[in-house]
């Protein structure tokens, strides 16, 4: 019985250690792992499911996707505000709606329609675009 209890505790600790962690939305990520934690927190708040790594081959920008209400959204996470500012300029130039926080930008991954705009409103951050 004691071995079983120890095994359950070990499995629980391993599960917690391997998964993303909730972090404050103004957290500044420094690597892929902390970027994933921030993206996870953003997606959780918007009830956006199936968070996946899309582009993680950078040292200062990491892109993730998640799905909500039949739409796929990109969550770009940055280690500095310079990258975030460049992303917001790019989206403004395209006239694409987005939401932005101190170190992240959320936009629809492909296309744009009224339904996606409504769902985008559930994400944290300032409304823009």
| pLDDT, tens digit (0-9, with 9 covering 90-100), for 72-89 | 999 999 999 999 999 999
Q: Residues 21-61: pLDDT tens digits?
A: 889 999 999 999 999 999 999 999 999 999 999 876 678 99
pLDDT exceeds cutoff 60 at 4: no
Indicate if the alpha-carbon torsion angle 41, 91, 115, 72 is positive or negative: negative
Tell me the DSSP string of 52-79. EEEE---SSEEEEEEEETTEEEEEEEES
Nearest to 42 by CA among 82, 92, 76, 80: 76
């Amino acid at each position: 019985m004691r071995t079983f209890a120890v095994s359950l505790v070990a499995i629980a600790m391993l599960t917690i250690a391997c998964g993303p962690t909730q972090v404050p939305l103004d957290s500044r990520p420094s690597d892929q792992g902390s970027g994933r934690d921030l993206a996870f927190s953003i997606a959780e708040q918007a009830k956006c499911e199936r968070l996946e790594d899309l582009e993680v081959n950078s040292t200062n920008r990491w892109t993730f996707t998640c799905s909500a209400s039949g739409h796929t959204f990109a969550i770009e996470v940055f280690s500095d505000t310079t990258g975030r500012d460049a992303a917001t300029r790019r989206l403004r130039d395209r006239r694409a709606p987005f939401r932005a926080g101190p170190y992240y930008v959320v936009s629809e991954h492909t296309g744009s329609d009224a339904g996606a705009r409504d769902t985008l409103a559930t994400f944290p951050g300032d409304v823009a675009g």
